[in-house]
Amino acid sequence: MNPPLQIAAFHSWPGDMDALFWVHEEGLDDRCVEAYREALQESTSVPLKIFVASGGEQMKSWDHLPSLLQAFSHHRLSRHSVVLTTGGGAMSDAVGFAASIWKRGMRVAHVPTSTLAMVDAAWGGKTAFNHDGKKNQLGTFHAPLFVHIDACWLSTLPERHRRSGLAEVAKHAMLDPILGWNHLKNWPDWSPTDQDVLRTWTDRMKDSAEAKRRIVEEDPFETGRRATLNLGHTIGHAIEAHFSATNAPWLHGEAVALGLRFAIFMASESSPDDFQPLKHWLQRQVPLPSVKWPTANELWPIMKHDKKNSLGEVREVHWKGWGDVVWPEILEKEAFKATWPAFLRSEMESPHL
Ligand SMILES: NC(=O)c1ccc[n+]([C@@H]2O[C@H](COP(=O)([O-])OP(=O)(O)OC[C@H]3O[C@@H](n4cnc5c(N)ncnc54)[C@H](O)[C@@H]3O)[C@@H](O)[C@H]2O)c1
Ligand SMILES: [Zn+2]
């Protein structure tokens, strides 16, 4: 394993900071953890307090909140303290929530360690806890001071998680005219020992995160443009929910990848060849579990309950081409029931490369 690349560019802290509380997941690469610990120590004269937690979705369970608040209390964190998380999106959501209510709001920054957290969760500006068996029922808007991206962390991330987060990378490239196909083409195969590959991955994850940041900054409280970030998610959420009840649930990014492939299919009706490289990119980068995909009849009732709907209509983000989306577009039941089987047939005719 090579040393981290981005650490030299570490950020400056607020002048009134009285303590830096670093929460990192267990199971991360030891050399990255040690290099970051040293860099953090050097970056500030205030006390550095370290808390190691096991990450993942269980962090967002309400039962977990007291242990975080207890740690804040034990380390005497104040409103002038800063919490830095180093972990996946569940950690930035959970610790971000705890920080946002501590002393009526303590500042937070993130060093995300999964592909999904790097390009999506860390810059979300939203925090969340699950409640009553449902995801993200409780939360706050709490923007981070900064997000620091370094591909060195990905070396310990399981491959399936690493790949699934790339669906959100494709989504940002599809939405943002600055990124487009250039962002995805010549994407290097992952190799944690190759410095050039690490540098390219870091740069591309940063560019993708920036695309999300631009949209979030324009619409921090989700009243308009931010809804376009749901591209591929009306179908994606339904697929995720469909498989969540089985013994082989899909990861969020895998379900979104299929939702994006459907969006590409819809856009391809007018120009069939234009988006083939994008479709192949998704097929190659985000392989899907080999199980039978749900039918339109199975998906539609789930889609009817999507939180983005209003007046009982199913609303989706319609992708017309690079950087060109329409929101909201009403998806009619009969149209979906005709289009979904055609999409499935087209996928069978052009299977994974
Ligand atoms: N706030 C937002 O705007 C926003 C946006 C998107 C997603 N999210 C949330 O983010 C979460 C998903 O994020 P995720 O995909 O990172 O999942 P995750 O945080 O659950 O991480 C996936 C798994 O990988 C582990 N892990 C993370 N980084 C690792 C590393 N470098 N090495 C080894 N193991 C590592 C975690 O412990 C966990 O077991 C969901 O809870 C979702 O709701 C929030
Ligand atoms: Zn998503």
Tens-digit pLDDT profile for residues 60-84: 999 999 999 999 999 999 999 999 9
Tokens 């391809």 belong to: 268
Return the pLDDT at 307.
73
Please work out whether the CB of residue 25 comes within 6 Å of at least one atom of ligand 1.
yes
According to the model, what pLDDT value does residue 5 have? 61
Kindly list the catalytic residues: 104, 126, 168, 212, 222, 226, 230, 233, 237, 252
Atom of ligand 1 lying closest to residue 55 CA: 37
- The average confidence (pLDDT) of the chain is 93
The residue type found at 313 is: E
96 lines ligand 1 (CB under 6 A): no
pLDDT for the residue numbered 53: 96
353 — pLDDT class (breaks 50, 70, 90): very low
What are 182's two structure tokens?
């250039």
Q: How many angstroms does the Cα of residue 70 sit away from the middle of ligand 2?
A: 31
From CA 235, how far away is CA 241, in angstroms rounded?
A: 10
Of 135, 93, 99, 100, residue with least CA distance to 116: 93
Question: According to the model, what pLDDT value does residue 16 have?
Answer: 97
Residue with CA at minimum distance from ligand 1 atom 33: 157
Ligand nearest to the CA of 95: 1
> What is the position in ligand 1's atom list of the atom closest to the CA of 57?
20
Band the pLDDT of 349: cuts 50, 70, 90. confident
Q: What pLDDT score was predicted for residue 4? A: 63
pLDDT given for residue 331 in this prediction = 92
The CA distance from 159 to 91, in Å, is 19
How far apart are the CA of 38 and the centre of ligand 2, in A?
33
Residue type, 244: S
> What is the three-class DSSP state of 300?
helix
User: What does the pLDDT average to over 289-306?
Assistant: 92
What's the token pair of residue 72? 């804040």
Instruction: Report whether pLDDT(288) > 80.
Output: yes
pTM above 0.85, yes or no: yes
Residue % of the chain over a pLDDT of 70? 96
| Ligand 1 site, residue 55, Cβ cutoff 6 A | yes
Contact 338, 295 (CB under 8 A): no
As annotated, the residues of the chain forming the CATH 3.40.50.1970 domain(s) are 7-157
| CA-atom Rg of the chain in angstroms | 21
Average pLDDT over residues 245-257: 96
What is the tens place of the pLDDT at every residue in 21-62? 999 999 999 999 999 999 999 999 999 999 999 999 999 999
Report how far residue 4's alpha carbon sits from residue 6's, in angstroms, rounded to the nearest whole number. 6
Q: Return d(Cα 67, Cα 73) in angstroms, integer.
A: 10
Chain centroid, CA 307 distance in Å: 18
In CATH terms, 225-349 corresponds, of 3.40.50.800, 1.20.58.1690, 3.40.50.2300, 1.20.1090.10, to 1.20.1090.10
Q: Hey, which of 28, 93, 160, 256 would you mutate to test ligand 1's pocket, going by the most ligand atoms within 8 Å of its Cβ? A: 93
pLDDT of 7 reads 73
> What's the rounded mean pLDDT across residues 149-157?
96
pLDDT in tens, 121-148: 998 889 999 999 889 999 999 999 999 9
Q: Does residue 6 have a pLDDT over 80? A: no
Domain covering 7-157 in this structure, CATH number: 3.40.50.1970
pLDDT in tens, 180-201: 999 999 999 999 999 999 999 9
Q: Cβ contacts of residue 275 below 8 Å, gap of 6+? A: 264, 267, 268, 321
Nearest to 96 by CA among 53, 142, 63: 142
**Domain limits, CATH 1.20.1090.10, in the chain:** 225-349
Q: Which two tokens stand for residue 299?
A: 């998906």
Cβ–ligand 1 contact at 136 (below 6 Å): yes
**What is the DSSP secondary-structure string of 335-346?**
HHHHHHHHHHHH
